[in-house]
């Protein structure tokens, strides 16, 4: 087993310029921000032009006017939420799953808060500014205004999604249950549409507004139908993926070997994950995101799954010949993200699966990076020990296994590295840390500690590529 003994630092590696993919991803992220603001500006202008600013001068009219504005902003952001959940490939590649999740949380919080403010302010304004009359006014509006009953049902769906997304509630739900409940966001957005079209002057007062809103709704619906429904079904039919073997790997993990038709056209890369549905009966509706644990070669795929509950235990009981539906591939934890000549990969537990596939691609690619170092933290038994040893035999990859339990809650390393802090221990093994691209995969809290150490070590944020598991 390797130790973290101090070694002389090599000369700093020349930092390679960002590749075409990195530049394109950066432009997509910038363009997405511009598009978001471009969608918010016209609705704000239409609100102001329709007397929104003037109405702020009165108490009751000001409440209603402010409620209209928050409703417009919340509506735009709700549709942005739908687009973020639609698995649009260009966004997936540019932001990565973690980046999209962060944007999703921020946009969702603002949208949900705006929706509640819209309901409260408009109702308060319709009650002539009388706070005590507001509950009765809300009741009357709900029953007497066209589309409001549907809007109330949509609001209930969105409240359900938000409440179950709070971490305290999420940890008490099975992944399948949480995922199913999260789909109610689509229903909530759809139920709000009739109310907006029937009662909202900001939606129908001009041809431009009507075209804008129908266009935005159409884009959101089209994205969901294309990338969440049609494309996964078409890929599953085209590639006809089946299970060929189940191989125990130790530590409660099994590898699932799969074959299919023209798998090179699937476009999967080492480091990515797919959502898998195994057609074994009633459980086929439950999709699970599992990373590829071997570099795809166009003929076969492999995933490695640890029994962590939520249906993962059933994977060990799969039989050869079982048909599989797939959605993906997803994630930007791939060689495309690399911008520096040398790379460092850091994984914990079953998080080593995607990194093991990346190591295979790096080692076998003549045009790949220079030095490759893999730090694997595990508690008891390492995954892929023999495979990683074989991959490092040619000298292109250095393995740094770190065994044992974590030393304390604020440390991501184990007892085997000695008493020093995480950054000192990591620099002892990788002195040129700040000059490398770093790939990180592991549980969410653990990856956060790793990222903090890398930032303290001077690794630029755009060279840290993270994929975490846990929800």
DSSP states of 62-102: HHHHHHHHHHHHHHHHHHHHHHHTTT-HHHHHHHHHHHHHH
Model pTM score: 0.80
What is the homologous superfamily of the domain 239-330 according to CATH? Translation factors (2.40.30.10)
Tokens of 283: 């459980």
As a whole number of angstroms, the distance between CA 190 and CA 154 comes to 7
In our burial notation (b when 16+ CB lie closer than 10 A, e otherwise), range 272-287 reads bbbbbbbebeeeeebb
Q: Which CATH number fits domain 335-469: 3.40.50.80, 3.90.1150.10, 3.30.9.10, 3.30.70.890?
A: 3.40.50.80
CB atoms within 10 A of CB 267: 12
The residue ranges of every structural domain in the chain are 20-235, 239-330, 335-469
Q: Please give the distance of CA 342 from its chain centroid, rounded to a whole number.
A: 26
Digitized pLDDT (tens) for each residue of the chain, 471 residues in all:
333 333 343 333 333 344 567 778 888 989 999 999 999 999 999 899 888 889 898 999 999 999 989 989 998 998 898 888 888 888 888 887 778 878 888 888 899 899 899 989 989 998 988 888 988 988 888 888 777 788 888 888 888 777 777 766 566 666 666 666 677 677 777 777 777 766 666 676 778 888 888 888 899 999 999 998 999 999 999 999 999 999 988 777 899 999 999 999 999 999 999 999 998 876 666 788 899 999 999 899 999 988 766 567 778 888 999 999 999 898 888 888 888 889 999 988 788 899 999 999 998 887 777 889 998 887 777 788 888 888 888 778 888 887 766 656 677 886 655 566 888 888 888 899 999 999 998 888 888 889 999 999 999 988 899 887 654
pLDDT (tens digit per residue) in 24-71: 888 898 999 999 999 999 999 989 988 888 989 899 999 999 998 998
Q: Which residues contact 437 (CB under 8 A, 6 or more apart)?
A: 337, 338, 339, 340, 342, 343, 344, 369, 463, 465
pLDDT (tens digit per residue) in 241-290: 999 999 988 777 899 999 999 999 999 999 999 999 998 876 666 788 89
How far CA 255 is from CA of 174, 298, 369, in Å, comes to 23, 18, 27
- Residue holding tokens 């260009």? 90
Tokens of 341: 């000549």
- Residue holding tokens 């914990």? 348
CB atoms within 10 A of CB 320: 11
């Amino acid at each position: 087993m390797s130790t973290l003994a101090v070694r002389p630092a090599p000369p700093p590696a020349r930092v390679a310029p960002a590749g075409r993919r990195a530049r394109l991803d950066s432009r997509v992220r910038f363009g997405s921000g511009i598009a978001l603001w471009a969608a918010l500006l016209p609705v704000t202008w239409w609100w102001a032009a329709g007397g929104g600013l003037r109405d702020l001068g009165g108490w009751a009219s000001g409440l209603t006017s402010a409620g209209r504005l928050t409703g417009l902003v919340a509506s735009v952001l709700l549709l942005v939420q739908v687009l973020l959940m639609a698995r649009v490939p260009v966004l997936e590649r540019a932001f990565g799953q973690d980046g999209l999740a962060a944007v999703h949380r921020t946009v969702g919080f603002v949208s949900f808060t705006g929706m509640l403010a819209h309901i409260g302010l408009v109702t308060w304004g319709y009650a002539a500014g009388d706070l005590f009359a507001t509950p009765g006014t809300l009741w009357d509006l709900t029953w007497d205004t066209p589309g409001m009953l549907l809007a109330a049902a949509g609001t209930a769906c969105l409240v359900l999604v938000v409440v179950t997304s709070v971490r305290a509630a999420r940890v008490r739900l099975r992944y399948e249950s949480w995922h199913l409940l999260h789909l109610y966001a689509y229903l909530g957005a759809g139920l709000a549409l009739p109310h907006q079209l029937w009662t909202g002057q900001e939606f129908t007062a001009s041809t431009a507004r009507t075209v804008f809103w129908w266009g935005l709704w159409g884009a959101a619906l089209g994205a969901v139908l294309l990338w969440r429904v049609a494309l996964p079904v078409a890929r599953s039919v085209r590639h006809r993926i089946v299970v060929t073997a189940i191989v125990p790997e130790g530590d409660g993990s099994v590898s699932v070997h799969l074959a299919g038709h023209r798998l090179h056209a699937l476009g999967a890369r080492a480091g990515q994950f797919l959502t898998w549905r195994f057609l074994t009966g009633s459980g086929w509706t439950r999709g699970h995101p599992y990373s590829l644990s071997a570099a795809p070669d166009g003929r076969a795929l492999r995933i490695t799954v640890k029994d962590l509950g939520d249906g993962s235990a059933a994977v060990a009981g799969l039989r050869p010949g079982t048909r599989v539906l797939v959605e993906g591939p997803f994630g930007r934890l791939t060689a495309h993200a690399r911008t520096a000549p040398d790379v460092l990969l850091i994984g914990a537990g079953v998080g080593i699966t995607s990194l093991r596939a990346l190591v295979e691609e790096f080692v076998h690619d003549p045009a790949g990076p220079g030095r490759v170092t893999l730090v694997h933290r595990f508690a008891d038994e390492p995954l892929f020990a023999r495979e990683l040893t074989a991959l490092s035999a040619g000298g292109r990859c250095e393995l740094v296994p770190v065994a044992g339990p974590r030393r304390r809650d604020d440390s991501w390393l184990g007892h085997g590295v000695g008493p020093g802090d995480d950054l000192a221990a990591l620099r002892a093994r990788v002195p040129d840390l700040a000059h490398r691209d770093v790939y990180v995969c592991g549980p969410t809290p653990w990856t956060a500690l790793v990222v903090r150490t890398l930032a303290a070590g001077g690794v630029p944020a755009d060279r840290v590529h993270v994929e975490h598991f846990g929800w």
